[in-house]
Amino acid sequence: MELRQLKTFRTIATLGSFNQAAEVLDYAQSTVSEQIRALETDLNVRLFNRASKQVALTEAGELMLQYAQKMLNLEEEIRSEVSGCEEVHGSLSIRIPETISICYLPPILRKFRQRFPKVDFSFTNCAYFSLPEELRSGIINLAFLITDTFRAADLETEKLLDIPLALVTYLEHPLASKQPVTIFDLKNEPLLVPTSDCSYVQMLEKILAEEKVELSIVLRFNCIEAIKQSVMLGAGIAVLPQIAVKRGLAEGLLAELPWPGKPLRANLLMIRQKNKWLPPILEAFMDMTRETLAR
């Protein structure tokens, strides 16, 4: 496997064409085809479906594209560091909950960009179960989770913040005026949960399971704002970080229900691979994150 093969592979995947890739790279068509054949032979997989003029990545090709991008980014970072380039180049792939992206990330990113304007970022939503493998493989450099605990033998977990959770619904909901609310009151209520923030919902599910309460309807959304708007219009109840619903509560658009029992609090965790060399740009991002959240 050679870097030039990876560059050719990435170019074809981006353009969707062997011919266009050959033109962009200033290669003969036969050279492009030979490089991909050699790469597929080396990996013993097909990377492209060539059933039509518009080539498409196979499932293996989709995964390979992530690794190819990481390797090419690392090459650029090495060249930048070793040559003593004044402007550091590189790329970071980070999994981060939507709430943290909206409420805390912007000032961190602004500060980072002032120091490292040539660094690329890829921010994606959290993924609780695939997280260890993604960190071990290097597909992602860093991850953040909103949850109670997270443990893996070869991962380093650092707590950054307490995250209070709120149980919210629409203003006219019968439970909005009931005192107290019990865990059994939730049984027949539609529960709206985010896939973009992921892990803290498991805390509520654990409490429900312990009380042998099974929810009748669960609606899963990939957007916090969609959940808030739906709840405001009477779709059900939701469990969200307090900071995500603070404005809606203050403006009287949402009603907060008292927790049935002890209020739920989660932790914002920063997770990386243990005992692994950290690129300077990753160390800088982690330090800026700690400093910003500490304030």
pLDDT tens for residues 17-54?
888 888 878 888 889 889 898 988 898 999 988 766 67
pLDDT tens-digit map of 145-203: 999 888 888 899 999 999 999 999 999 999 998 888 888 888 888 999 998 887 788 88
Compute the average pLDDT of residues 47-76.
Answer: 79
pLDDT of residue 80: 61
Q: Give the domain 3-81 fold.
A: Arc Repressor Mutant, subunit A (1.10.10)
Judged against a pLDDT cut of 60, whether residue 292 lies above it is answered with: yes
Rounded Cα distance between 207 and 160, Å, is 24
More confident residue, 235 or 200: 235
The residue type of 77 is E
Rounded Cα distance between 295 and 280, Å, is 23
Judged against a pLDDT cut of 80, whether residue 116 lies above it is answered with: yes
Beta-carbon-side half-sphere exposure of residue 100 (alpha carbons within 13 Å): 31
pLDDT tens-digit map of 136-147: 777 788 999 999
Judged against a pLDDT cut of 60, whether residue 85 lies above it is answered with: no
pLDDT category of residue 261 using cuts at 50, 70 and 90: confident
Helix crossing, 280-294 with 105-115: angle to 10°? 140
Rounded Cα distance between 70 and 139, Å, is 7
pLDDT of residue 86: 59
Rounded Cα distance between 55 and 48, Å, is 6
Domain positions in the chain: 3-81, 89-160+268-294, 164-265
Q: Do domains 3-81 and 89-160+268-294 have the same CATH topology?
A: no
pLDDT of residue 226: 96
pLDDT category of residue 260 using cuts at 50, 70 and 90: confident
Domain made up of 89-160+268-294: CATH architecture:
3-Layer(aba) Sandwich (3.40)
Judged against a pLDDT cut of 80, whether residue 277 lies above it is answered with: no
Q: What angle do CA 69, 73, 75 make, to 5 degrees?
A: 120
Rounded Cα distance between 145 and 269, Å, is 5
Q: What are phi and psi for residue 180, nearest 5 degrees?
A: -90, 170
pLDDT category of residue 95 using cuts at 50, 70 and 90: very high
User: In the numeric block, which tokens belong to residue 145?
Assistant: 């989770």
Compute the average pLDDT of residues 265-279.
Answer: 88
Q: What percent of the chain has pLDDT over 70?
A: 95
Q: Which CATH class is domain 164-265?
A: alpha beta
Which residues make Cβ contacts (< 8 Å) with residue 201, sequence separation at least 6?
193, 194, 239
